[in-house]
Amino acid sequence: MIQTDNYKKNAANHAVEFVETGMVVGLGHGSTAQFAILRIAELQKTGDLGQILGIPCSHEVDNFATQLGIQLTTLNKHPHIDLTIDGADEVDPQLNLIKGGGGALLREKIVAQASKREIIIIDENKLSPTLGAKWALPVEVSQFGWELSASFIETLGAKTNLRQSEAGKPFITDSGNYLLDCNFGPIDNLDELASELSHRAGIIEHGLFLGLASDVLVAGHEGVKHLKVS
């Protein structure tokens, strides 16, 4: 665990090297992205980085960044983001992603689509030959009729589970929705599956981030490897 955290920190520190004073920066959700937020705050405190405007991907990130003194803004005020630093649960060789393990996939995707550059930071264990081989696909669904959404997803070949909070109740996203963790196994038809999910009423968003990552920084025992879309 300590080694994995060191990998995450290395990737995060490398990603923050691309942040420049005056930028609008998307602040991702999750343990890996948290290291990047800490690094930004550290550089601002030492004076090595001037003011940026952060756009948080969750209420949790909003609170965390505010406590660290990072100035925040909104997408309504700044609809064009210079770069976003975020994590991922699984990354394939084409730099497609599964995201949503932390429960913030809707906001993360909105921010990613508004970003000129989407930098994903991961440890080497998140690399996968095929999405779905290591991670169930999170799907955010309306509370109303969520069981119908689950049944529909199961017709596409998945086993679905309603995500639970630590209190044993259904996990509720920042937007007030439920999350289904959908185990498809290795997914060989990413575009087709994404389209099927996107066109179903009751499904708010899915955790397939296809063609959104511009850079992936992979930290491991040999250091940080920088992957780019070819």
108 noted as active-site residue? yes
Tokens encoding 127: 């690399």
- Look at residue 33 in the predicted model and tell me its pLDDT: 95
Q: Does 56 map to a domain?
A: yes
Percent residues over pLDDT 90 in the chain: 95
Domain span at 95: 2-125+210-219
What mean pLDDT is predicted for residues 32-44?
97
Q: Tell me which of 17, 42, 90, 108 is the catalytic residue.
A: 108
Tell whether 17 and 46 lie within a shared domain.
Answer: yes
What region does 26 belong to: left with phi over 0, alpha with psi -120 to 50, or beta? beta
- Look at residue 1 in the predicted model and tell me its pLDDT: 58
Domain count, the chain: 2
Q: Does 64 map to a domain?
A: yes
pLDDT higher than threshold 90 for residue 150: yes
The one-letter code for the residue type at 148 is L
Q: Does 229 map to a domain?
A: no
- Look at residue 230 in the predicted model and tell me its pLDDT: 72
Tell whether 146 and 111 lie within a shared domain.
Answer: no
pLDDT higher than threshold 90 for residue 5: no
Q: Does 226 map to a domain?
A: no
Q: Does 89 map to a domain?
A: yes
What mean pLDDT is predicted for residues 14-32?
97
* Per-residue pLDDT reduced to its tens digit, 159-184: 999 999 999 999 999 999 999 999 99
Tell whether 102 and 215 lie within a shared domain.
Answer: yes
Tell whether 141 and 100 lie within a shared domain.
Answer: no
- Look at residue 229 in the predicted model and tell me its pLDDT: 84
- The domain that holds 168 is classified in CATH as 3.30.70.260
Q: Does 189 map to a domain?
A: yes
* Per-residue pLDDT reduced to its tens digit, 190-200: 999 999 999 99
Tell whether 102 and 52 lie within a shared domain.
Answer: yes
Percent residues over pLDDT 70 in the chain: 99
Q: What gap in Å lies between CA 208 and CA 100, rounded to an integer?
A: 9
Tell whether 64 and 97 lie within a shared domain.
Answer: yes
Tell whether 20 and 83 lie within a shared domain.
Answer: yes
Tell whether 61 and 111 lie within a shared domain.
Answer: yes
Task: Give the 3-state DSSP-derived string for 61-84, with helices as H, strands as E and coil as C.
Answer: HHHHHHHCCCCECCCCCCCCECEE
Q: For residue 221, what pLDDT band results from cuts at 50, 70 and 90? A: confident
- Look at residue 2 in the predicted model and tell me its pLDDT: 59
